[in-house]
Structure 1
Amino acid sequence: MLSTLLSMMSDGQFHSGEKLGESLGVSRAAVWKSLSRLEKEGFPIQRVRGKGYRIPKGAVLFDLDAIQQHLPTDIATYWQWHLYPSIDSTNAEAQRLMASAGGHQPLVCIAEQQSAGRGRRGRTWVSPYGQNIYMTLVEPFSNGAQGLEGLSLIVGIVLADTLESCGYPQVRLKWPNDLLLENRKLAGILIEIAGDLTSDCVAVIGVGINVLMRAEAGAQIDQAWTSLLQAPGQGELDRNKLVATFAQKLLLAMREFRRSGFQVFIPEWEKRDAWLGQSVSVVSGANVLNGVHRGISERGALRLQTAEGEMLVSGGEVSLRVNNAP
């Protein structure tokens, strides 16, 4: 019932509980109970006496049929699609699905909620129900892990391009795998490599995007963050459309990556690089490197201009911080 209820309300207008109940064949109390449970988990529901309930335009639950309807048939059928109401981690589930199938087939895992969502450097990814995008795509490669250098940056470029095409032109990239909006974290990427690291392998591409979260839902997050709901302007909030747009653009980018490598993507990254030319610090454990961010190399490494000359810093367990942040 909840999915149907939100679809009925997805026009962004106020709807009375009584009329919603009549349309669904349930009582007004049943409508109130369903929406109250969702509201307790942080879902952005506005209620006004005499008007009823309102949710942001496009705020619906995931629907695989709806996602695939937004895709050309050849792209929709390229992956095996898996949708879960709740899961520990979409990356972990993707690994389990690969193990049970005994092969490296392209697949997508999407969840309404994660109980153990993971980011880089062991961080927890806060994952409330029905509000954000928690998604993992499995993509096979045949040239080993070394041939995947720069992959996380390509995923970032595709994600930024997706959001720009959906009404969010202000999104910027932070090396190696974060997206920022107004200097606050909007999305993150976690890529894990499985299989033979020297030959046939798969990239397990985890993506998290804050879509409908409000401040109270992200109280546990220990860094400045934002969501599409809080972005200036009126961009797309339908997560089904966002997922479909991203999946289509990513598949096309992976084909180009196989043909031409990472180098052709460098201009697109640097066009959106949030901190290009700025004084930054690269933190790895207790070690800190200071310098000026000069861009990225042909392999996706950070070019850091230090007092001793230019250094190349690879991704991994490092953190990039801008030195003149307020």
Structure 2
Amino acid sequence: MCRPLPQVQPTMLSEILALLADGRFHSGEALGEALGVSRAAVWKSLKRLEDDGYPLQRVRGKGYRLPPGAGLLDAELIRSRLPAELASRWQWLVYQQVDSTNAQAQRVQAPGQARPLIVLAEQQVAGRGRRGRQWASPFAQNIYLSLAEPVSVGGPGLEGLSLLVGLCLVQALEDAGYRGCQLKWPNDVLLDGAKLAGILLEISGDLTGEAVVVIGVGVNVLLDAAATIDQSWVSLYRSGQRATLDRNELIATFLKRLAPSLQLFHEQGFAPFRQQWMARNAWAGKAVKVISGSNELLGIDGGVNARGALLLRTESGDVEISGGEVSLRLNHAS
């Protein structure tokens, strides 16, 4: 998606953000005294955070304040907002900084392990999206989440899974008060026509039997500036909608949507979710092009079938496009 953002020093920033989590103004001097560092050291850390796009509120004579609801990731807080059976369903790992949550989930989890796993991070230094693109992953601003789920259905049994995850994410955002989120096949969430979130599935193990599917989810939450992103983007903060920016609450709401949907998906596939996905299809009826390598296919977006394949209406007839190394764009886009 973009070139990697500069790394920050997460330890001091974590301590500063923890002090600012009460939503009040704190002077640089007071923050420095609390941490045993100079006011200049506090300013330098927060300046780097702002340079990475964090919408820190700074008022002369008052100091610094976080946007309402902003704060650090807290696995116990997320678990407390889940039903007991869901809170104990996953093994939880939360990191200050990793290369990517998907990569870390793959290192920790292995085929044959029974318990699902959730990996969260405040920052990714090598976050990635589909087709090898890098994902902008600044510190403490967005959701970088990966779920490792043991599966025994093989690759074909996972058709439509990325669409289901996107649907659950949009439904969770609707539950949290956001309006207008839509889905773009096969793995993007859009808001106001710009990219808000993306999903990356990676499978390891026996593709015909026991395997682990890692579901990576990235959501722009607090990001307010990112010159390195090479496509139209938006964040929940920049949307201007008066809804929660609490990442812990958003994650809990998403997991409450996802867990029962995954169970139904494993039993019946994508078919039960097709109409709900179609109702949120951002490009329904629009002229699009499907790009695969150097090949392009033009047509009209006709939604998806019961397996989650794109239905493309072309001049020579309807074509079904499965996922993989393909890209869908409006046909006037470059």
Q: Which residue of 2 aligns with 1:121?
A: 131
**Aligned-partner residue type, residue 174 of structure 2:** E
Q: TM-score, normalised by structure 1?
A: 0.92
Alignment CA distance shift 1:214-1:70 (3 Å): same
Q: Which residue of 2 aligns with 1:289?
A: 297
Contact 1:10–1:56 (8 Å) recurs in 2: no
Q: Which residue of 2 aligns with 1:268?
A: 276
Gaps of 5+ in 2: 1-11
What SS does the aligned partner of 2:109 have?
helix
**Aligned-partner residue type, residue 125 of structure 2:** S
**Aligned-partner residue type, residue 59 of structure 1:** A
Deviation readout 1:15-45 (Å, 9 max, x if unpaired): 44455567x4757726545534533443221
Contact 1:104–1:202 (8 Å) recurs in 2: no
Q: Which residue of 2 aligns with 1:48?
A: 59
| Cα distance in structure 2, aligned partners of 1:306 and 1:201 | 36
Deviation readout 1:67-125 (Å, 9 max, x if unpaired): 111111210111110111111111111111024x9625300111111111111011111
Contact 1:18–1:27 (8 Å) recurs in 2: no
Q: TM-score, normalised by structure 2?
A: 0.90
Q: Which residue of 2 aligns with 1:141?
A: 151
Q: Which residue of 2 aligns with 1:190?
A: 200
| Cα distance in structure 1, aligned partners of 2:87 and 2:146 | 15
| Cα distance in structure 2, aligned partners of 1:306 and 1:68 | 48
Deviation readout 1:230-267 (Å, 9 max, x if unpaired): 01311211111111111221111101112322101001
The correspondence for 1:89, drawn from 81, 100, 105, is 100
Q: Which residue of 1 aligns with 2:7?
A: none
Q: Which residue of 2 aligns with 1:170?
A: 180
Contact 2:75–2:94 (8 Å) recurs in 1: yes
What SS does the aligned partner of 1:81 have?
strand
Alignment CA distance shift 1:104-1:191 (3 Å): farther
Task: Map 1:145-294 to 2 at 5 A.
Answer: 145-215=155-225, 218-294=226-302
What SS does the aligned partner of 2:97 have?
coil
| Cα distance in structure 2, aligned partners of 1:102 and 1:148 | 17
Task: Map 1:8-87 to 2 at 5 A.
Answer: 8-10=19-21, 12-17=23-28, 24=34, 29=39, 31-32=42-43, 34-87=45-98
Please tell me the root mean square deviation across aligned C-alpha atoms, in Å: 2.2
Deviation readout 1:260-311 (Å, 9 max, x if unpaired): 2210100110111000111111111111110111110111000000001100
What SS does the aligned partner of 2:196 have?
strand
Gaps of 5+ in 1: none
| Cα distance in structure 1, aligned partners of 2:212 and 2:153 | 10
| Cα distance in structure 1, aligned partners of 2:118 and 2:287 | 38
**Aligned-partner residue type, residue 287 of structure 1:** N
In the alignment, does 2:325 pair up with 1:317?
Answer: yes
Alignment CA distance shift 1:5-1:69 (3 Å): farther
39-48 or 132-141: bigger deviation = 39-48
| Cα distance in structure 2, aligned partners of 1:102 and 1:201 | 7
Alignment CA distance shift 1:136-1:307 (3 Å): same
Contact 1:3–1:60 (8 Å) recurs in 2: no
Percent sequence identity is 55
**Aligned-partner residue type, residue 248 of structure 1:** K
- C-alpha deviation, 1:314, in angstroms: 0.6
In the alignment, does 2:142 pair up with 1:132?
Answer: yes
